Amino acid sequence: MRRDYPKVCVIGLGYIGLPTAALLATHGIEVTGVDTNPSVVKTINSGNVHIVEPDLDWKVHRAVQSGFLTAKTEPESADVFLIAVPTPLAADKRPVVDHVFSAADMIAPYLRPGGLVILESTSPVGTTEQLCRRLAERQPDLSFPITTGPAAQSDIAVAYCPERVLPGRILTELVDNDRCIGGMSSACAARARGFYEHFVRGSCVETSARKAEMVKLTENAFRDLNIAFANELSMICEELDVDVWDLIALANRHPRVQILKPGPGVGGHCIAVDPWFIVDAAPDQARLIRTAREVNDAKARHVLARIRALIDKHPHRRVSCLGLAFKANVDDLRESPAVEIVERLADEHGGRIGAVEPFIQRLPERLIQLGVQQQTLDEALRGNNILVVLVDHNAFRELDRSRLADAVIYDTRGIWSEPAGLLGKPLLSVELQSRIAAA
Ligand code: SAJ
């Protein structure tokens, strides 16, 4: 055990907390991972994982076996407390930060002078200040950096350092990405930076907590806006009878144009959520950000309308939806537009709808209740079906195109389109392309 390194307590063992805890542990740092769900704790302590992410399984296994990572339902004393709990959106599109404050209540009794508390959860601007106040209420004997400013000194250092890793590449990006480290004071930022430099290869840049909170929201709002542009283009192109995939490939040959990809809407627990934190804080100013959210949500409804039209046009064919995950090559179905679309279709057409999702063993209960049939890709390809591509998983992208010969195809991700203006063999025969267009 490396005694020169701090002991770390990670609160929340989800998509960010668990990979971070495993990474720290495999750097020889003693880590206690805390999760309120006893079954998560049990799974991890047996060396297994409850989420799918490349390389996470063996890393957690190794960390637990070596004794550097232990999971618990309650925190214990540590030098550094890292909070990585969910900050979801309420039905009225307002941020819910209750889990951050519950985490504060959990760790407060274990804080000692010289301790460092870092919040990583995506949070509305001002949350780290509120976290400090909460900790100060629960631990009146210790001083906290409630007021920002370069001169502030306190028993406990507090910082906000947003996670910015991409699901599917989490363990690589945890190490390689730059980190934006927002201290409640410059002393706090310096303390937190020292911690991250134990395991981050990217640059660790110091700033204030408020600015770091806004940086995280800005990054995801920027991506949402750019995806909205692509989704809006796809709907415009349908009106104008222009192939959107060709259009984007050609426009992206301009040196300063880089249009993202249209899809069936934006999912996940970040891009579709975080822009609302900005809208909630500054509703009169955040007009573009709100509109981007609305455009991306409208794209899912648009896709649904197109599938309904295909169902009406081909009354004797079944529908096979390819993909349920919120994006390619992950098992995460949370806030997935594909799930929402399949659910609505099944509500209207019950047993006529099938779903292929290679990353899950069993369909979500709601889809089973609605009569959706879980299919393998082979089964979906066999049946003269209407094939709707909702997720660009590699397994779908790489299939032998001759197997699509009898299907009616609606490809919302453009995985079977021929890149425009590129040399080389077309990916689809002219005949197949015209059938896709006619569908
Ligand atoms: N999507 C498209 N077209 C695209 C790109 C994405 O339709 O061209 C869709 C995806 O299919 C998915 C959604 O957008 O439904 C979001 O996927 P994503 O890959 O853009 O992002 P996430 O949610 O997996 O991760 C994002 C990342 N943020 C940015 O790239 C700015 C990641 O770095 C953050 O750490 C993560 O949010 C987070 O946790 O906040």
Check residue 425 and give its pLDDT.
38
Residue 7: C-alpha distances to residues 1, 40, 143, 268, 352 (Å)? 10, 21, 21, 32, 55
Mutation probe of ligand 1 site: the residue of 15, 223, 289 with most atoms within 8 A of C-beta:
223
Report pLDDT digits (tens) over 169-225.
999 999 999 999 999 999 999 999 999 999 999 999 999 999 999 999 999 999 999
Region 225-237: what's the mean pLDDT?
Answer: 98
**Is the Cβ atom of 323 under 6 angstroms away from ligand 1?**
no
Answer yes or no: are the C-beta atoms of 336 and 324 closer than 8 Å: yes
Please name the residue that has the structure tokens 């929201």.
217
Nearest residue to 132 via CA among 142, 11, 77, 75: 142
Q: What is the CATH number of the domain that holds 395?
A: 3.40.50.720
Does the beta carbon of 164 sit less than 6 angstroms from any atom of ligand 1? yes
pLDDT at residue 435 is higher than 60:
no
Query: What is the mean pLDDT of the segment spanning 256-265?
Result: 98
State whether 413 and 315 are in the same domain.
Answer: yes
Q: What is the pLDDT of residue 234?
A: 97
Q: Where are the alpha helices (DSSP H) in 241-364?
A: 244-251, 274-281, 287-313, 337-349
Cβ count near 419 (within 10 Å) = 15
Whether 409 is in a domain gets the answer: yes
Domain finish residue from 202, 236, 257: 202
Tokens of 38: 């006893």
CA distance 416 to 340: 23
Based on the fold, state whether residues 253 and 198 are members of the same structural domain.
no
Cβ neighbors of 382 (< 8 A, separation 6 or more) are none
Number of domains in the chain: 2
Higher pLDDT pick, 52 / 94? 94
C-alpha 167 – ligand 1 centre gap (Å): 8
Q: Which of 387, 388, 386, 336 is nearest to 363 (CA)?
A: 336
What's the confidence (pLDDT) of residue 243? 95
Q: Report yes or no: 381 and 400 within 8 Å, Cβ to Cβ.
A: no
Work out the number of other CB atoms within 10 angstroms of the CB of residue 158: 28
Q: Are 147 and 188 in contact (CB under 8 A)?
A: no
Identify whether the C-beta of residue 388 lies closer than 8 Å to the C-beta of residue 408.
no
Active site residue 216: yes
- Mean pLDDT for 35-55 is 94
The mean pLDDT of 342-354, rounded to a whole number, is 93
Contact 80, 8 (CB under 8 A): yes
DSSP 8-state symbol, 40:
H
Is the CB of 264 inside a 6 Å radius of any atom of ligand 1?
no
Element (H, E) at 434: helix 430-438
3-class SS letters over 338-396 = HHHHHHHHHHHHHHHEEEECCCCCCCCHHHHHCCCEECCHHHHHHCCCEEEECCCCHHH
Nearest atom in ligand 1 to the alpha carbon of residue 177 is 33
My answer on whether 258 and 198 are in the same domain is no
- Of residues 2 and 167, more confidently modeled: 167
Mean pLDDT of 48-52: 90
Q: Which atom of ligand 1 is nearest to the CA of 327?
A: 11
| Of residues 133 and 269, more confidently modeled | 133
Given the residues 132, 270, 321, 327, select the one marked as catalytic: 270
- φ/ψ of 385, rounded to 5, equals -85, 170
What pLDDT was estimated at residue 49?
94
Single out the residue in 202, 236, 260 at which a domain terminates.
202
Average pLDDT over residues 252-265: 98
- Distances 233 to 34, 248, 256 between C-alpha atoms, Å: 45, 9, 18
- What is the per-residue pLDDT across 291-315, written as a single tens digit (0 to 9) for each? 999 999 999 999 999 999 999 999 9
Is 222 within a domain?
no
Let me know: does 67 contact 107? Beta carbons within 8 Å.
Answer: no
| 382/319 same-domain check | yes
Ligand 1 atom closest to the Cα of residue 413 is: 7
User: Residue 386: which of 433, 317, 286 has the closest Cα?
Assistant: 317
Tokens 């980190």 -> residue:
179
Q: Is the pLDDT at 431 greater than 80, yes or no?
A: no
Band (pLDDT 50/70/90 cuts) for residue 153 is confident
Which candidate, 437, 335, 321, places its Cα nearest to that of 389? Answer: 321
* AA identity, residue 62: R
47 alpha carbon – ligand 1 mean position (Å):
29
Asked, for residue 283, whether it belongs to a domain, the answer is: yes
Q: Is residue 318 part of a domain?
A: yes
Q: Residue 158: inside a domain, yes or no?
A: yes
- Rounded CA separation 5/3 (Å): 5
Compute, in angstroms, the gap from residue 296 CA to the centroid of ligand 1: 13
Q: Are residues 193 and 275 in the same domain?
A: no
Show the tokens assigned to 179. Answer: 């980190």
Q: Is residue 212 part of a domain?
A: no
Residue where a domain terminates, one of 202, 233, 265: 202
Asked whether residue 392 falls in the same domain as residue 253, the answer is: yes
Are 75 and 97 contacting, i.e. CB atoms less than 8 angstroms apart?
A: no
* 140 plus 273 within the same structural domain: no
Average pLDDT, the chain: 92
270 as an active site residue: the answer is yes
Domain hosting 37: range is 8-202
Rounded distance, CA 180 to CA 165, Å? 12
Centre of ligand 1 from the C-alpha of residue 271, in Å: 6
For residues 78 and 149, state if they share a domain.
yes
**Ligand 1: nearest atom to the Cα of 269:** 23
Please state the pTM of the whole predicted model: 0.92
Mean pLDDT of 260-275: 96
**Residue minimizing CA distance to atom 17 of ligand 1:** 327
377 plus 281 within the same structural domain = yes
Measured distance CA(13)–CA(43) in Å, rounded: 11
Residue 156 confidence class, pLDDT cut points 50, 70, 90:
very high
The yes-or-no verdict on residue 428 having pLDDT over 70 is no
Does 189 share its domain with 333?
no
Q: What's the CA gap between 10 and 20, in Å, rounded?
A: 8
Would you state the pLDDT for residue 331?
86
CA of 367 to the centre of ligand 1 (A): 25
Task: Output the six-digit token pair for 188.
Answer: 């706090």
Distance CA(62)–CA(39), nearest Å, equals: 20
Q: With pLDDT > 70 as the criterion, what percentage of the chain qualifies?
A: 92
Q: Is 236 in the pocket of ligand 1 (CB under 6 A)?
A: no
Distance from C-alpha of 325 to C-alpha of 335, rounded to nearest angstrom: 9
Q: Is 144 helix (H, G, I), strand (E, B) or coil?
A: coil
Whether the pLDDT of residue 52 is over 90: the answer is no
Which whole-number Å values give the CA distances from 22 to 42, 55, 60, 76, 269, in the listed order? 15, 11, 5, 17, 22
Domain presence at residue 238: no
Are 303 and 404 members of one domain? yes
Q: Which residue, chain included where needed, has tokens 């001083």?
A: 143
Residue 433 above 80 pLDDT?
no
* pLDDT of 238 higher than 90: yes
* pLDDT-above-90 percentage for the chain: 85
The CB of 16 under 6 Å from ligand 1? The reply is no
Question: Both 175 and 264 in a single domain?
Answer: no
193 lines ligand 1 (CB under 6 A): no
Inside any domain, residue 241: no
The yes-or-no verdict on residue 154 having pLDDT over 70 is yes
Whether pLDDT at 257 is above 70 = yes
Q: What pLDDT score was predicted for residue 384?
A: 83
pLDDT at 56: 95
CA–CA–CA angle 261, 299, 382 (5° rounding): 75
Q: What is the pLDDT of residue 430?
A: 46
Q: Which of 271, 293, 326, 396 maximizes ligand 1 atoms within 8 Å of its Cβ, making it the mutation to test the pocket?
A: 271
